[in-house]
């Protein structure tokens, strides 16, 4: 079972879009997939067609120890989901020590999945630390539009700290170029610069700018359900093939 956090402390870079559509591609490839929505904005939950405001028992109840994870699973067309809801932001204020290990403790004994994908919020707060504490890999979506290296260095620095104190087995498996438009020179420059500064991290599949990817969440559908012929579907399928191959290289077994 491979546990993967999709994380970047910047918002709007394609984390949720990547989580949902890579999960969907893995499912199409025959893998057993679980998605954990760790963002109180609950966009992944919404993208899967579930209204977060109607989610009574979310991953938050599991973090608080009120529910077992088995009791909150939503089974959605072959993909399992631990949903989020807005009250999750209160996790920061729970009067419990060692809050970064709540997810790890709650998911003790979790089995039966090939891939667990965790959609992280756009910060390095408690919810992200909980995700990183149980992850083997981190995937970092990088919006191709401008040079966001400062933020990325923060993330890499944070990962070093997490390795030291929370989970020494976690690694940044790769950077995913999102919202890519090959006609814009800035997009190409960002990707070239990324490859130069962090050699070998960038996946060769870039996710192109694609309206269907933007529309799919409002229909509560993955890109493969909404527009299987779109560039978005093609790119996420290719990317997922590349991700699987890289994970297998990084942790054979
Ligand atoms: N490749 C893409 N082309 C066009 N729009 C995209 C693409 N990827 C994501 N988006 C849109 O950009 C916005 C931010 O993406 P999202 O995945 O929610 O980012 P994050 O989870 O990092 O905040 C959303 O409206 C999403 O639909
Ligand atoms: Mg998101």
Instruction: Give the list of residues 6+ apart from residue 189 with CB closer than 8 angstroms, or none.
Output: 147
Number of the ligand 1 atom closest to the C-alpha atom of 217: 27
pLDDT at residue 152, rounded to an integer: 73
Ion ligand 2 nearby residues (CB, 5 A): 15-16, 43
Terminal alpha carbon distance of the chain: 10
Choosing from 5, 6, 14 the residue with most ligand 1 atoms within 8 A of its CB, the one to mutate for a pocket test is: 14
Region 24-41 average pLDDT = 97
Q: What is the pLDDT of residues 54-76, one digit of tens each?
A: 999 999 999 999 999 999 999 99
Higher pLDDT, 111 or 144: 111
pLDDT at residue 154, rounded to an integer: 78
Number of domains in the chain: 1
pLDDT band at 197 (very low <50, low <70, confident <90, very high): confident
Cβ < 6 A, ligand 1 pocket: 11-17, 43, 122, 178-179, 207, 209-210, 213-214, 217
| pTM attached to this predicted model | 0.97
Between CA 80 and CA 251 the distance in angstroms is: 24
Region 21-43 average pLDDT = 98
Cα-flanking dihedrals φ and ψ of residue 221, to 5°? -125, 150
Region 2-10 average pLDDT = 95
pLDDT at residue 253, rounded to an integer: 63
Residue with the smallest CA separation from ligand 1 atom 3 is 209
Give the angle 242-140-129 at the CA atoms, nearest 5°.
Answer: 125
pLDDT at residue 156, rounded to an integer: 87
pLDDT band at 23 (very low <50, low <70, confident <90, very high): very high
**Joined tokens for residue 75:** 């089974």
Could you tell me the distance, in angstroms and rounded to a whole number, from the CA of residue 7 to the centre of ligand 2?
9
Question: Is the pLDDT at 164 greater than 90, yes or no?
Answer: yes
Region 88-98 average pLDDT = 90
Question: Is the pLDDT at 150 greater than 80, yes or no?
Answer: no
pLDDT at residue 144, rounded to an integer: 81
Mean residue pLDDT across the chain: 94
> Residue 112's domain is classified under what CATH number?
3.40.50.300
Structural domain span for residue 243: 2-250
Number of the ligand 1 atom closest to the C-alpha atom of 215: 27
Q: What is the pLDDT of residues 214-241, one digit of tens each?
A: 999 999 999 999 999 999 999 999 999 9
DSSP secondary-structure letter at 124?
S
Strand 115-119, strand 79-82: pairing: unpaired
Other Cβ atoms less than 10 A from the Cβ of 89: the count is 17
DSSP per residue over 164-222, as a string? HHT-TT-EEEEEEEESB-TT-HHHHHHHHHHHHHSTTTB-S---B--HHHHHGGGGT--
pLDDT at residue 148, rounded to an integer: 63
Number of the ligand 1 atom closest to the C-alpha atom of 19: 17
Of 71, 70, 81, residue with least CA distance to 33: 81
pLDDT band at 149 (very low <50, low <70, confident <90, very high): low
Task: Report whether 155 contacts 7 (CB < 8 A).
Answer: yes
pLDDT band at 147 (very low <50, low <70, confident <90, very high): low
Task: Report whether 116 contacts 3 (CB < 8 A).
Answer: yes
Alpha carbon of residue 144 to chain centroid: 18
Residue with the smallest CA separation from ligand 1 atom 10 is 214
Ligand nearest to the CA of 9: 1
Could you tell me the distance, in angstroms and rounded to a whole number, from the CA of residue 140 to the centre of ligand 1?
13
């Amino acid at each position: 079972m491979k546990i993967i956090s999709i994380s970047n402390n910047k918002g709007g870079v394609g984390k949720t879009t990547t989580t949902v559509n890579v999960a969907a591609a893995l499912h199409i490839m025959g893998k057993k997939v679980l998605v954990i929505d760790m963002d109180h904005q609950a966009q992944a939950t919404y993208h899967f067609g579930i209204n977060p405001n109607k989610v009574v028992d979310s991953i938050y109840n599991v973090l608080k120890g009120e529910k077992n994870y088995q009791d909150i699973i939503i089974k959605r067309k072959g993909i399992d989901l631990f949903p989020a809801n807005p009250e999750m932001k209160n996790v920061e204020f729970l009067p419990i020590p060692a809050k970064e290990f709540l997810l790890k403790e709650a998911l003790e004994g979790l089995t039966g999945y090939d891939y667990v994908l965790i959609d992280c919020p756009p910060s390095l707060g408690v919810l992200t630390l909980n995700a990183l504490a149980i992850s083997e890999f981190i995937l970092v979506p990088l919006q191709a539009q401008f040079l966001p290296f400062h933020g990325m260095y923060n993330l890499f620095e944070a990962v070093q700290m997490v390795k030291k104190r929370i989970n020494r087995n976690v690694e940044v498996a790769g950077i995913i170029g999102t919202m890519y438009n090959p006609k814009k020179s800035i997009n190409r420059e960002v990707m070239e610069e990324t490859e130069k500064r962090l050699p070998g991290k960038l996946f060769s599949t870039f996710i192109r700018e694609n309206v269907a990817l933007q529309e799919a969440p409002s229909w509560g559908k993955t890109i493969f359900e909404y527009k299987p012929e779109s560039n978005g579907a093609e790119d996420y399928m290719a990317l997922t093939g590349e991700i699987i191959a890289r994970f297998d290289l990084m942790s054979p077994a």
